[in-house]
Amino acid sequence: MASPVFDHVIVGGGLAGCVIASRLKEYSAESKILLVEAGGDTRDRPDIANSHAMNLGVPDVDWQYQTVPQKHLSDRSVLFNAGKGLGGGTLINAGGWTRGAAADFNEWASLVGDSRWSYEGQLPWMKKTERWLSKDVNAEQHGFDGYMHTCNLETTGRRYPLTDAIGAAWDEELMGVKPLPGFDANAGNNLGRALVCEAWNSGKRQWSASVYPLDGVEIMTETLVEKILLEANRDGKPVAAKGVQLADGSCIRSHNVICCAGAFRSPQLLMLSGVGPPEHLSDHGIQKLVDLPAVGQGLTDHPLLFQRWRLRDPDAGYMVGSDNPLFQQPEFGLGQPSDWMVLTTVAQGGLARAIEKDQGAVPDMDKHPLLSSPRTFIETVSMHFKMPGPDMPMDAAHMSTAMFNLLPTSRGSVTLSSDKIQDPPVVDVNYLSTEVDRYVFREALRTTAKLMLGTEFGREYIEGESVPPPLQPASLDDTDENLDQRVRAGATCGWHASGTCAMGKVVDTEFRVYGVEGLRVVDASVLPVPLSAHLQAPIYAMAEQAASIIAGRS
């Protein structure tokens, strides 16, 4: 066998892939690194940089996966956007910068038995990624020298006409929500009212390939990797990764392979290479080299539901899209038209009953990870425009709210559709398959209805909810049945897929695939638990620590 050409081949030039390639080159200038990306080179794309363009549905930067029909979403197939091209998901996301709660990371660390993955263990890497634009934040929690410019609404100077009224509504006794210190949800405790935090630089999108230098890294774009070249067991030695085979049949040799292809493509690539559930591999005529049943299992996402609220005075100029000259001011071009991000828990009694229904046994309130302390289940974001939807065109007469279930207990899977990488995998998120998830959404809907209909703000500004027929608009006394119907009809993906190559089941705490030498997976697929965060901030931090581990520095 010829000597490997590269020290590291990184498969997937998304968020994690670009961070790891950049840092490995920085840590060892003489190392030979190849980054292989299925999409194009996006680094000189001015259209990508527009902060108001999520780039969803743009074919050359979006895989546009379709889930299988979702049983608990009225058998709807859900469009699941996923970034394609150098930068991955950071090409198309909304720019939200949220870490999640310390409890999430501590559960992760406890589960895998490694304190590096606790909140305190990851905090230095969270800070390393950040270049916080306001000095009026907790310096023990935030960084000021990283590549990612981060700021909140106040830093940009923009204030929407209803921002203060909505904030006051959350503070009413009816809502029971307290403002977080400094309105900062990125300091370990995220339960409360915070200002939306964003990763924009002077109103321009930052994506991993545009901010992390890739000088000296060899890059192949518009190139699919067909499989990882694995050398089978011989003389008692374990299976070893020796490089990759491209879709055109050519091979590239390497000492190490790092798979950063994301929660859908990383498990697909492992399975096409002979690593995964043996029966499933056999069904597609693939020789099993390593028996790892958890590959492709455990898929989770943060399901999302939008609501549109009709203003009592549609001509007042409150919303973006109106003729209010305020919105022509330059600061309103510096980020998305949203302000408050409110993170809440749910009543433990109802949660315990839902867990009992799912598990068939009464949970231990002191030991169950979702019950032993208040956890962050719901994120509600107020948006100063009308989110378009089916039969719901844009206008300036509505505002919107978005709610995420941040700690779902439903689990799905990614499986093979064929033995070819050109064919997308079968994606089944299995949304809302647990009573816990249905309970959380009911609580979220009731909370938003109270805010929009039961507070002083709601009574003064909101006429009601607008919904497409045959749905019924929200009320303050909705039944569980009505709420469940709303979720079945309207919930969609949150674009935060994870868990399909979980740490502790598929990879160890240094990202090494069990049973294979020289092969690692580093991307959202390795998250062993859901995080109460939009995933880009945690994945940047994880990739920073992973690069240090791979380089032998940690």
Q: Which residue stretches of 381-521 are H helix?
A: 435-449, 456-461, 480-490
Task: Return d(Cα 104, Cα 126) in angstroms, integer.
Answer: 14
Q: What is the pairing mode between strands 251-259 and 239-246?
A: antiparallel
Among candidates 300, 248, 265, which has minimal Cα distance to 404? 300
- Residues annotated within a binding site for FAD: 225, 495-496
Q: With contact defined as beta carbons under 8 Å apart, do 39 and 322 qualify?
A: no
Peptide bond preceding 330 in cis form (omega within 30 of 0): no
Residues 6 or more apart whose Cβ sits within 8 Å of residue 390 = 468
Q: With contact defined as beta carbons under 8 Å apart, do 446 and 483 qualify?
A: yes
Residues marked as catalytic = 496, 534
Task: Return d(Cα 155, Cα 418) in angstroms, integer.
Answer: 49
Task: Return d(Cα 276, Cα 51) in angstroms, integer.
Answer: 39
- Residues annotated within a binding site: 225, 495-496
For residue 514, which amino acid is it? Y
3-state DSSP helix/strand/coil % of the chain, to nearest 5: 30, 25, 45
Q: How many helices (H) and strands (E) does the chain have?
A: 13, 26
Burial 220-246 (b: 16+ CB within 10 A, else e): bbebbbbbbbbbeeeeeeebbbbbbbb
Q: With contact defined as beta carbons under 8 Å apart, do 416 and 272 qualify?
A: yes
For residue 124, which amino acid is it? P
What six digits make up the tokens of 257?
Answer: 């392979």
Task: Return d(Cα 43, Cα 339) in angstroms, integer.
Answer: 29
Q: What is the pairing mode between strands 79-80 and 290-291?
A: unpaired
Q: With contact defined as beta carbons under 8 Å apart, do 351 and 200 qualify?
A: no
Among candidates 127, 167, 166, 164, which has minimal Cα distance to 147? 127
Backbone Cα Rg of the chain: 23
Residues 6 or more apart whose Cβ sits within 8 Å of residue 398 = 308, 309, 310, 311, 319, 386, 466
3-state secondary structure 242-274: EEEEECCCCEEEEEEEEECCHHHHHHHHHHHCC
For residue 301, which amino acid is it? D
Q: With contact defined as beta carbons under 8 Å apart, do 60 and 83 qualify?
A: no
Asked whether the CA dihedral 116, 351, 70, 305 is positive or negative, the reply is negative
